[in-house]
């Protein structure tokens, strides 16, 4: 059997399959190696089984990276519009759910089937259920042992993703391999992940299951979406979003009433001086949350018994309630990994290692992480396309 290829792609997730299909359709002989029993497992479970496959607002500013400019080139050359065209070409029905997030009307399986069709059109060979063994590099060629075989090619693509959700076969393999070739790693950490609360804040466990539309903030970055109280702490889209920016020890601020105009409590006092703070809160927040906040504020008299200054303080408290998470739920629950293979060593146009010709890194393995809402797949498609076109 001829085991010589033009490119070997390690990892058959979204990025690896896109790269393989593009290179294959350009006439390259491509081998994809994945240790899983099927390709695209994260695609299959994404978006509640409907795959939020892109976001029409996927601009580079909505990505986190030590080099915020890195994603511009690949994302400019392969945009959300390009992926939507591919989806439409394959007759996959889709809809916008919210905030530019595009989901399949049916199952995420359609996206995997589409990528496999594209790979087939490019004559791509896919090897599953065989781990990656020894990797060699000599005379401008890479050799990769897998199972009882060895393949070789002048191009090797690292597309094994990040360590989020290890029970699905996710590993940090990419980092070790990149280091071996002299590339550096931006410290990885779990992202798009629920945050945990300890100490006094565990009292909020009593309202586990309650969700509210809030503005959550970490440092200068804020997201207006739902937050959810859980048995362990805080979750929901607003919290997942800020978790990607959060560092140990930092507070997360929550504006429980993002639509309330300044002075609303003082105005309420003028209209209903005998009403209680609790009732004012319950009128605009879920009942159990209103109760918890009221108890924590600890002002039990009617509004008339409170000065305007005190009510102003309460408003400020409610608009920037400070939680200091004691951690996150870690890689077991993280949708993605922030950090990864440093972009310093990569060409932003082709994803090729600047100092190791023929070596490429794409997708989540690289230090580019998107917001929640289809942004991470768009990076997988764009970076995979850039490498596939360059091979
Ligand atoms: P990905 O992890 O998809 O693929 C890597 C491949 O490499 C896998 O097939 C794996 O088996 C293989 N592999 C890993 N280590 C290996 C090794 N040592 N040897 C051989 N093979 C190895 N994003 C989004 O935009 N919209 C969404 O709706 C969601 N939803 C979502 C839900 C959940 C629960 C999770 C966990 C994640 C999401 N995401 C998402 C994020 C998205 O899934 C993620 O960013 C992309 O899958 C990354 O694509 P990659 O191809 O880079 O890695």
CB-ligand 1 contact for 119 (6 Å cutoff): no
Sheet holding 321-323, edge to edge: 321-323, 252-255, 211-218, 221-229, 233-235, 195-196, 327-328
Cβ of 62 closer than 6 Å to ligand 1, yes or no, is: no
pLDDT at 202: 87
Distance between CA 54 and CA 308 in Å, rounded? 47
Compute, in angstroms, the gap from residue 81 CA to the centroid of ligand 1.
Answer: 22
Q: For ligand 1, is residue 364 a contact (CB within 6 Å)?
A: yes
pTM, 2 dp: 0.97
Ligand 1: centre distance to CA 13 (Å): 6
Low-confidence ranges of the chain (pLDDT < 70): 1-2
Residue 54 tokens, joined: 């892109």
Q: Is 132 in the pocket of ligand 1 (CB under 6 A)?
A: yes
Q: Is the CB of 24 under 6 A from ligand 1?
A: no
Q: Cα(26)–Cα(23) distance, rounded to whole angstroms?
A: 5
Indicate the top mutation candidate among 13, 126, 163, 369 to test ligand 1's pocket, ranked by most ligand atoms within 8 A of CB.
Answer: 13
Name the residue with the closest Cα to ligand 1, atom 45: 376
By most ligand atoms within 8 Å of CB, the mutation choice from 161, 361, 382 for ligand 1 is: 161
**pLDDT tens, position by position, 173-228:** 999 999 999 999 999 999 999 999 998 888 888 999 999 999 999 999 999 999 99
Predicted local distance difference test score (pLDDT) of residue 2:
63
What whole-number distance in Å separates Cα of residue 105 and Cα of residue 82? 19
CA distance 302 to 332: 46
Q: Which residue from 21, 33, 42 has its CB within 8 A of the most atoms of ligand 1, so it is best to mutate?
A: 42
The predicted-structure confidence for 77-118, as pLDDT tens digits, reads as follows: 999 999 999 999 999 999 999 999 999 999 999 999 999 999
ipTM: 0.99
Task: Give distance in angstroms: CA of 156 to centre of ligand 1.
Answer: 19
Instruction: Say which residue the tokens 């970076």 belong to.
Output: 383
Percent of the chain with pLDDT over 90: 98
Residue 203 CA to residue 104 CA, distance in Å, equals 39
Whole-angstrom Cα distance, residue 159 to residue 14? 9
pLDDT at 18: 99
Among protein residues, the one whose CA lies closest to atom 25 of ligand 1: 374
């Amino acid at each position: 059997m001829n085991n010589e290829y033009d490119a070997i792609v390690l990892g058959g997730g979204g990025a690896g399959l896109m790269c393989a299909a593009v290179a294959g359709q350009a006439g390259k002989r491509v081998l994809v190696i994945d240790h899983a029993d099927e390709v695209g497992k994260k695609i299959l479970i994404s978006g509640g089984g409907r795959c939020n496959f892109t976001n029409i607002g996927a601009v580079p500013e909505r990505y986190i990276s030590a080099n915020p400019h890195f994603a511009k080139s690949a994302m400019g050359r392969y945009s959300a519009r390009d992926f939507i065209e591919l989806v439409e070409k394959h007759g996959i029905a889709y809809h916008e759910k919210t905030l530019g997030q595009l989901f399949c009307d049916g199952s995420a399986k359609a996206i995997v089937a589409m990528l496999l069709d594209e790979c087939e059109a490019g004559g791509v060979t896919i090897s599953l259920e065989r781990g990656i063994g020894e990797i060699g590099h000599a005379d401008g060629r890479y050799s990769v042992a897998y199972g009882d075989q060895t393949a070789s090619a002048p191009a090797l693509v690292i597309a094994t993703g990040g360590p989020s959700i290890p029970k699905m076969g996710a590993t940090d393999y990419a980092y070790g391999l990149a280091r071996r070739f002299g590339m550096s790693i931006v410290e990885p950490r779990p992202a798009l992940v629920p945050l945990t609360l300890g100490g006094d804040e565990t009292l909020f466990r009593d309202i586990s299951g309650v969700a509210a539309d809030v503005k959550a903030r970490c440092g200068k970055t804020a997201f207006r979406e739902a937050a959810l109280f859980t048995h362990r702490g805080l979750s929901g889209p607003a919290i997942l979003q800020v978790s990607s920016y959060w560092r140990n020890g930092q507070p997360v601020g929550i504006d429980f009433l993002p639509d309330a105009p300044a002075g609303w409590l003082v105005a309420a006092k003028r209209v209903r001086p005998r009403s209680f703070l609790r009732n004012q809160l319950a009128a605009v927040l879920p009942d159990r949350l209103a109760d918890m906040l009221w108890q924590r504020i600890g002002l039990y008299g009617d509004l008339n018994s409170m000065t305007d200054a005190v009510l102003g303080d309460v408003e400020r408290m409610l608009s920037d309630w400070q939680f200091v998470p004691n951690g996150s739920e870690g890689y077991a629950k993280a949708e993605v990994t922030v950090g990864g293979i440093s972009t310093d060593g990569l060409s932003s146009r082709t994803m090729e290692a600047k100092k190791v010709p023929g070596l490429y890194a794409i997708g989540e393995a690289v230090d580019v992480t998107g917001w929640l809402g289809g942004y991470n797949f768009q990076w997988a498609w764009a970076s995979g396309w850039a490498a596939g076109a360059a091979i």
